[in-house]
Structure 1
Amino acid sequence: MQSPVRFSSCRGVTFEINNPHANPFAVTERSISKRLWPFASNSKVFPSFSVQRSTSRASSHFCDLDLDDDEENDEALQSLQEEDNNNDVEKQQEQEKPFAKPAVPPAAAPKKSDMRLSVILLDQGLFTVYKRLFTVSLILNIIALVVAATGHFPYARKNAALFSIANILALILCRSELFLRLVFYLAVKILGRSWVPLFIKTATTSLLQSVGGIHSGCGISSIAWLLYALILTLKQRDNTSPEIIAVSSAILGFLCISSLAAFPLVRHLHHNVFERLHRFSGWFALALVWAFVILRISYDPTTKSYRNEVGKALVHSQEFWMTVAITVLIVAPWLTVRRVPVRVTSASGHASIIKFEGGIKAGILGRISPHPLSEWHAFGIISDDKKEHMMLAGAVGDFTKSLVANPPTHLWVRQVHFAGLPYLTNMYDRVLLVATGSGICVFLSFLLQPCKAEVCVLWVTKGVEQNFGKEIKEMMSGHSKEKVIVHDTAVLGRPNVSEMSVNAANNFGAQVVIVTSNPQGSRDVVNACKANGIAAFGPIWDS
Structure 2
Amino acid sequence: MQSPVRFSSCRGVAFEIKPHADPFAIASPTENESRSSSKRAWFPWLQSSSRVFPNSSIQRSMSRPSSHFCDLDLDDEDETSDDDFELERLEEGKDEEKEEKPIFPSASKREQTVPKPARKQESRLSVILLDQGLFTVYKRLFVVCLTLNIIGLVLAATGHFPYARNRAALFSIANILALTLCRSEAVLRVVFWLAVKVLGRSWIPIPVKTATTSLLQSLGGIHSSCGISSVAWLIYALVLTLKNRENTSIEIIVVASIILSLLCLSCLAAFPLVRHLHHNVFERFHRFCGWTALGLLWAFIILTISYDPITKSYSKELGSRLIRQQEFWFTVAITILIIIPWLTVRRVPVRVSAPSGHASIIKFEGGVKAGILGRISPSPFSEWHAFGIISDAKTEHMMLAGAVGDFTKSLVSNPPTHLWVRQVHFAGLPYLVNMYNRALLVATGSGICVFLSFLLQPCSADVCVLWVTKGVEQNFGKEIKEMMSGHPKDKVIVHDTAVLGRPNVSQMSVDAAKRWGAEVVIVTSNPEGSRDVVNACKGAGIPAFGPIWDS
Same fold (TM over 0.5): yes
* Residue pairs, 1:199-218, within 5 angstroms: 199-218=207-226
Q: What is the match of residue 60 of structure 2?
A: none
* Residue pairs, 1:415-494, within 5 angstroms: 415-494=423-502
SS in 2 for 1:438: helix
* Residue pairs, 1:57-206, within 5 angstroms: 63-64=70-71, 66=73, 72-74=79-81, 115-206=123-214
Cα distance, 1:306–1:69 mapped onto 2, change above 3 Å: farther
Q: After superposition, give the CA deviation of every residue in 1:305-347 in whole Å (9 maximum; x if it has no partner).
A: 1111110010011000000000000001001000000000001
Q: 1:287 aligned to 2:290?
A: no
Q: Which amino acid aligns with 2:80?
A: N
Q: Does the aligned pair in 2 maintain the 1:16–1:59 contact within 8 Å?
A: no
* Residue pairs, 1:490-509, within 5 angstroms: 490-509=498-517
Quick one: distance in 2 between partners of 1:174 and 1:532? 32
Q: What is the match of residue 104 of structure 2?
A: none
Q: What is the match of residue 14 of structure 1?
A: 15
SS in 2 for 1:469: helix
Q: Does the aligned pair in 1 maintain the 2:183–2:220 contact within 8 Å?
A: yes
Quick one: distance in 1 between partners of 2:138 and 2:225? 10
Equivalent of residue 320 in structure 2, options 312, 336, 349 = 312
Deviation at residue 13 of structure 1 after TM alignment: 1.0
Q: Does the aligned pair in 2 maintain the 1:516–1:522 contact within 8 Å?
A: yes
SS in 1 for 2:159: coil
Q: Which amino acid aligns with 2:275?
A: R
Q: What is the match of residue 238 of structure 2?
A: 230
Alignment coverage as a number of residue pairs: 485
Q: What is the match of residue 262 of structure 2?
A: 254
Deviation at residue 361 of structure 1 after TM alignment: 0.4
Q: Does the aligned pair in 2 maintain the 1:10–1:268 contact within 8 Å?
A: no
SS in 1 for 2:303: helix
Quick one: distance in 2 between partners of 1:247 and 1:199? 48
Q: Does the aligned pair in 2 maintain the 1:59–1:521 contact within 8 Å?
A: no
Q: 1:355 aligned to 2:391?
A: no
Cα distance, 1:497–1:63 mapped onto 2, change above 3 Å: closer
Equivalent of residue 374 in structure 2, options 356, 361, 366 = 366
SS in 2 for 1:356: strand
Deviation at residue 178 of structure 1 after TM alignment: 0.4
Deviation at residue 69 of structure 1 after TM alignment: 9.3
Q: Which amino acid aligns with 1:9?
A: S
Q: What is the match of residue 40 of structure 1?
A: none
Quick one: distance in 1 between partners of 2:263 and 2:124? 25
Q: Does the aligned pair in 2 maintain the 1:20–1:66 contact within 8 Å?
A: no
Equivalent of residue 521 in structure 2, options 503, 513, 532 = 513
Quick one: distance in 2 between partners of 1:287 and 1:381? 35
More helix by share: 1
Cα distance, 1:232–1:346 mapped onto 2, change above 3 Å: same
SS in 1 for 2:449: helix
Q: What runs of 5+ residues in structure 2 fail to find an aligned partner?
A: 25-64, 93-110
Quick one: distance in 2 between partners of 1:250 and 1:510? 52
Cα distance, 1:61–1:125 mapped onto 2, change above 3 Å: farther
Q: Does the aligned pair in 2 maintain the 1:344–1:408 contact within 8 Å?
A: yes
Deviation at residue 9 of structure 1 after TM alignment: 2.0
SS in 2 for 1:14: strand
Deviation at residue 482 of structure 1 after TM alignment: 2.1
Quick one: distance in 2 between partners of 1:158 and 1:228? 11
CA RMSD of aligned residues (A): 2.8
SS in 1 for 2:228: helix
TM-score, normalisation: structure 2 = 0.83
Deviation at residue 71 of structure 1 after TM alignment: 7.5
Cα distance, 1:350–1:315 mapped onto 2, change above 3 Å: same
SS in 1 for 2:361: strand
Quick one: distance in 2 between partners of 1:499 and 1:17? 29
Q: Does the aligned pair in 2 maintain the 1:462–1:490 contact within 8 Å?
A: yes
Q: After superposition, give the CA deviation of every residue in 1:355-413 in whole Å (9 maximum; x if it has no partner).
A: 00000000000000000000000000000000000000001110000000100000000
Q: Does the aligned pair in 2 maintain the 1:17–1:518 contact within 8 Å?
A: no
Quick one: distance in 1 between partners of 2:76 and 2:304? 61
Q: Does the aligned pair in 1 maintain the 2:370–2:391 contact within 8 Å?
A: yes
Q: What runs of 5+ residues in structure 1 fail to find an aligned partner?
A: 22-57, 86-94
